[in-house]
Chains A and B, each alone.
Chain A
Amino acid sequence: MKVVEYGSRVYMIAVFSALASLLQLLEIFIIMPIPFVKIGLANAIVLFFILRKQFMIAFMVNIIRVFIGGFFSAKLFSLPFIFSISGALLSFFVMTGVFLIFRIYVSAVALSVCGAIAFNMAQYVLFMFFFDGEAVYGTTVSVIIGLSVIPGILTGVVAEILNRQDVELIKKTR
């Protein structure tokens, strides 16, 4: 049975982009004990679609939610937006790449951790490029990778739980 067709794909992109954007905006109200650390719940939706091998939907949701998030936080096409979209793109390609290489031998949690690290590293490299001239592989990178692991695990657990559910929205789109 073919579950997803062209028309329904657009519908799902719209619905899940809205959901991801909402999660991204609601995250502002979640206070984390460590500064500069975000859970990245919107990434759980992207990861959910990667796990379902619907890479195009995952890619579109990832891009659209960054645009919507940037629009509502009044940072569209600004420097934080460039950081955000670069991180989102890199994390998507890393998660997809790791998933395609390891396939069933890797869990959503590990994929999510890889994505979180890629997201933060992209932002770090861009920040250093714009403000410091060059990015150095030093203690800062170590701290960034370390801090990426905790939100990565949280997001991965959410994506794994989502993946285990029989989501009706995907089956009854038309």
Chain B
Amino acid sequence: MFRPGDILIYFCIVILIIIPLLPEQNDKNLSSRVKVIAGNSLFFFDTYKDSIYTVREGKDSVLIEVKNRMVRIKSSTCRDKYCEKKGWLKESDSGDIICMPNRIIVSFVKEGVSEIDAVTE
């Protein structure tokens, strides 16, 4: 029922089973950037460099902080400060930080990954 060649075959099978179970590590290797939509303007910030950016939309301005591959709106000129209360957004999070009064949306985009889910004609 068992012969020496079986070891190689079973080893290959185990490898084939294990490899797809490690998708997280592959995702981490994909470099991602912070995408900021401010009104009609579009900005991209690198995540590997910790820094604070000022984004102006009309008279208002927003401070966006990128740190440890996370992003948050540090301060905003809007009234309710919901965007500041949202806190840090991680790379693995799927949501956005939205500041409605300033018309600013902050999110992560993975490079090489299409943002389009489907196209209808």
User: Interface of A with B (CB < 8 Å)?
Assistant: 98, 102, 104-110, 113-114, 117, 137-142, 145-146, 149, 157, 160
Contacts and interface: CB of A to CB of B under 8 A. Distances in A.
B5 A145 contact: no
A142 B20 contact: yes
A106 B12 CA distance: 14
A105 B2 contact: no
B5 A110 contact: yes
A137 B23 CA distance: 10
Contacts of A106: 3, 5-6, 9
Contacts of A107: 1-3, 5-6
Contact of A105 (B4, B10, B13): B4
B5 A109 contact: no
Contacts of B18: 142
B42 interface: no
Interface residues of B, number: 17
27 contacts: A98-B9, A102-B5, A102-B8, A104-B3, A105-B3, A106-B3, A107-B1, A107-B2, A107-B5, A109-B2, A109-B6, A110-B3, A110-B6, A110-B9, A113-B10, A117-B13, A117-B16, A137-B19, A137-B20, A139-B20, A141-B16, A142-B17, A142-B18, A142-B21, A146-B17, A149-B13, A160-B1
Contacts of B19: 137, 142
Nearest to A141: B20
Nearest to A138: B20
A92 B16 CA distance: 20
B27 to A, nearest CB: 12
B1 A157 contact: yes
